[in-house]
Amino acid sequence: MWRSLRGALRCLGVKVCRRSVLLVVLLWLASWLFLNGLVFVHRNMFSDFCTDDKSKEILQRVCDEYQQGVLTGDLCEDLCVAGRVEYKRCLYYENGKKVMAASWRGVPVVLKSKLENFSSYEALALLEYQDAAGGAGGEEELSPLDVVFYATLEIKNSLGLETGTNLTLPRLWGQKLKENERTYSRAELASLWALLQQEEYTFLRVLQDLTHHVAKILGSCGHFYAVEYLAAGHAWDQHIFSLEELTLSPSPSPWSGQEKMITAKDMVPRVALSFLEMVEHFENDFSHRLHLCDIKPENFAIRKDLTVVAIDVDMAFFEPKMRDILEQNCTNDNDCNFFDCISNCDTTKNRCGPKRRNSNLQVICEKIFRPWFSPTLLGAKAGLPLQVELQRAVQECAEIDGGEDARRTRAVREQLQDLLVELIREDTGNQGEGQEHKMRRVHTALNF
Ligand SMILES: Nc1ncnc2c1ncn2[C@@H]1O[C@H](COP(=O)(O)OP(=O)(O)OP(=O)(O)O)[C@@H](O)[C@H]1O
Ligand SMILES: *[C@@H]1O[C@H](CO)[C@@H](O)[C@H](O)[C@H]1NC(C)=O
Ligand SMILES: *[C@@H]1O[C@H](CO)[C@@H](O)[C@H](O)[C@H]1NC(C)=O
Ligand SMILES: *[C@@H]1O[C@H](CO)[C@@H](O)[C@H](O)[C@H]1NC(C)=O
């Protein structure tokens, strides 16, 4: 279509061609309208009840309960009293899960809760027990140590970690609790409990201080918690994350006003490098290896500094839970596929092996890097020596088999890394003088 447009433009001015120009323009307009319609329908179908009125109603209920002393959190005062949380739009409602965009003291955030109502979460049994046992005089408050103990149990349960292992979170919380040596109010405990029942919150909370490849939790009020706003990948645009989402916004807001620092083309190798860093991190830096079992662009997002963040953590499992999930009855290898996490069927026992056969790296190479660095998407650049080498490295990485030794996997990853660094250096070298300043800023952001 573009070629015909170009052809039509070339004969612009010649009378005969006028009609074809008009035709092409009309055609272009029609397809544009069609695509927009499609996106509109898609949005409305999948966000069923996602209306601004409903979202505001939900937040109002949170505030009513805050005022009644039922729930609390560090976000409540700003949300309910000071008016420093500005609702923007809702992002997603499904199966009760509420996700909305807002701006908190000028910072774009996403408010999330797995369930709409605070009362839908299971109450802390301990509080009920107190009510039953204490009667009128039972306002005795829980000791911080009890809270830590129960929170730890809940977290280990939720993440599938055996009770023997050390976890960072309880230690941190424990320290905090000891520092202020104070007891917790009912509202605080009930809110904490509602949050801990959301696997995503628990997961993010545990990894908060350990990695920058998960979304930062910025605050909470009752069962709603705020995470940093990120630019998510799109299913329909495999090629790239749109940084514009972070910098440009339909309405004038704190989102906008940022200069666009990096063009799409320059972004790819930098984001890819961050993916590699994340893989290495998840593999080695926690007490258990972390497996990502649903790898696709929509499940990752980037920050302005181009660090990659895993946003859909429903399908992220630590090694012990991964083993539980994989160990199933089977008759052949196909029965041992759990989304992107696969193992082998032991046909003598008819049981899947508990050890994952593929790896985060292999799947990311196959499902994310391969499309990015494919000749079709690279266009004219595909023939350049560095690009060819990169394509080969990505292909090799996508074909890594879990049976192979760890040393080869490391070699593959290091080669990829080297090629990406070189690609970035080459791109930077080719930039005009005016761009130099921009590029340097990116470099410092990534700490090369
Ligand atoms: N931190 C964020 N910044 C910007 N958008 C976000 C953020 N977190 C989530 N979103 C958007 O909200 C939508 C739903 O969020 P989320 O992934 O938490 O829901 P989910 O129920 O886990 O989704 P899925 O159905 O894919 O499992 C996502 O499509 C994503 O685009
Ligand atoms: C949440 O609470 C409101 C008011 O109490 C109620 O109308 C609504 O049905 C509840 N929603 C769910 C999902 O329970
Ligand atoms: C847990 O941590 C304690 C103290 O930090 C340490 O002594 C112990 O060995 C750790 N246990 C395990 C299983 O790592
Ligand atoms: C798996 O197989 C074992 C023995 O072959 C059997 O006892 C068990 O019920 C099976 N489990 C399921 C979930 O089918």
State residue 422's pLDDT score: 93
State residue 253's pLDDT score: 36
Distance CA 389, CA 392 (A): 5
- 4 pLDDT exceeds 60? no
Higher pLDDT, 76 or 407: 76
**CA–centroid distance, residue 350 to ligand 3 (Å):** 37
Alpha helices in 47-105 (DSSP H): 52-67, 76
State residue 431's pLDDT score: 53
Question: Does residue 376 have its Cβ closer than 6 Å to ligand 3?
Answer: no
State residue 444's pLDDT score: 26
Amino acid 213 reads H
**CA–centroid distance, residue 99 to ligand 2 (Å):** 17
State residue 19's pLDDT score: 77
State residue 43's pLDDT score: 57
pLDDT confidence of 375, banded at 50, 70, 90?
A: confident
- 176 pLDDT exceeds 80? no
Q: Which residue has the tokens 């046992």?
A: 133
- 67 pLDDT exceeds 50? yes
Question: Does residue 331 have its Cβ closer than 6 Å to ligand 3?
Answer: no
Task: Specify which of 22-26, 33-37, 80-84, 253-257 reaches the highest per-range mean pLDDT.
Answer: 80-84
- Give the ligand 2 atom nearest the CA of 116: 13
The pLDDT tens digits for 141-160 are 666 667 777 777 777 777 87
Flag whether the pTM goes above 0.85.
no
Q: How would DSSP label each residue in 55-70?
A: HHHHHHHHHHHHHTTS
- 236 pLDDT exceeds 90? no
Tell me which ligand sits closest to the C-alpha of residue 349. 4
Name the residue with the closest Cα to ligand 4, atom 3: 329
Q: How many CB atoms lie within 10 A of CB 107?
A: 13
Higher pLDDT, 56 or 48: 56
Mutate to test the pocket of ligand 3, among 166, 172, 175 (most ligand atoms within 8 A of CB): 166
Name the residue with the closest Cα to ligand 2, atom 13: 116
The mean pLDDT of the chain is: 79
Distance CA 361, CA 97 (A): 30
- 248 pLDDT exceeds 50? no
Asked whether the beta carbons of 153 and 167 are under 8 A apart, the reply is no
pLDDT confidence of 279, banded at 50, 70, 90?
A: very high
- Give the ligand 2 atom nearest the CA of 115: 13
**CA–centroid distance, residue 65 to ligand 2 (Å):** 13
Q: Which residue has the tokens 């109450």?
A: 123
**CA–centroid distance, residue 117 to ligand 2 (Å):** 6
Q: Which residue has the tokens 């192979």?
A: 404
State residue 293's pLDDT score: 97
- 68 pLDDT exceeds 60? yes
State residue 224's pLDDT score: 98
State residue 133's pLDDT score: 59
State residue 92's pLDDT score: 85
- 11 pLDDT exceeds 80? no
Higher pLDDT, 156 or 356: 356
The two beta strands, 217-221 and 224-228, are: antiparallel
State residue 42's pLDDT score: 58
Amino acid 111 reads L
Asked whether the beta carbons of 302 and 375 are under 8 A apart, the reply is no
Name the residue with the closest Cα to ligand 3, atom 14: 166
Task: Over range 352-366, report the average pLDDT.
Answer: 95
Tell me which ligand sits closest to the C-alpha of residue 227. 1
- Maximum distance among all Cα pairs of the chain, rounded to whole angstroms: 95
Higher pLDDT, 260 or 219: 219
Distance of CA 185 to the CA centre of its chain: 32
The percent of the chain in helix, strand and coil, each rounded to the nearest 5, is 55, 15, 30
Amino acid 385 reads P
CB burial of residue 81 (10 Å; 0-12, 13-18, 19+): exposed
Dihedral of CA atoms 149, 154, 155, 161 in degrees, nearest 10, equals 100
Distance CA 397, CA 399 (A): 5
The pLDDT tens digits for 300-354 are 999 988 899 999 899 999 999 999 999 999 999 999 999 999 999 999 999 999 9
The pLDDT tens digits for 282-306 are 998 888 899 999 999 889 999 988 8
State residue 430's pLDDT score: 63
Ligand 1-lining residues (CB < 6 angstroms): 91-92, 94, 97, 99, 110, 215, 227, 229-230, 232, 301, 311-312, 314
Q: How many CB atoms lie within 10 A of CB 24?
A: 18
Higher pLDDT, 425 or 330: 330
Q: Which of 86-90, 93-97, 173-177, 197-201 shows the lowest per-residue confidence on average (mean pLDDT)?
A: 173-177
**CA–centroid distance, residue 148 to ligand 1 (Å):** 29
pLDDT confidence of 208, banded at 50, 70, 90?
A: confident
**CA–centroid distance, residue 295 to ligand 1 (Å):** 14
**CA–centroid distance, residue 325 to ligand 3 (Å):** 27
Q: How many CB atoms lie within 10 A of CB 304?
A: 14
Tell me which ligand sits closest to the C-alpha of residue 98. 1
Task: Specify which of 45-49, 207-211, 247-251, 338-342 reaches the highest per-range mean pLDDT.
Answer: 338-342
pLDDT confidence of 75, banded at 50, 70, 90?
A: very high
- Give the ligand 4 atom nearest the CA of 350: 5
392's enclosing H/E stretch is helix 385-398
Higher pLDDT, 47 or 189: 189
- 125 pLDDT exceeds 60? yes
State residue 178's pLDDT score: 56
Distances (CA, A) of 295 to 2, 119, 339, 344: 33, 34, 9, 20
Task: Over range 384-402, report the average pLDDT.
Answer: 91
Structure tokens at 113: 């809760």
- 129 pLDDT exceeds 70? no
Tell me which ligand sits closest to the C-alpha of residue 170. 3
Alpha helices in 285-359 (DSSP H): 319-326
State residue 378's pLDDT score: 74
Mutate to test the pocket of ligand 1, among 47, 98, 99 (most ligand atoms within 8 A of CB): 99
State residue 108's pLDDT score: 95
Name the residue with the closest Cα to ligand 4, atom 2: 329
Question: Does residue 166 have its Cβ closer than 6 Å to ligand 3?
Answer: yes
Percent of the chain with pLDDT over 70: 72
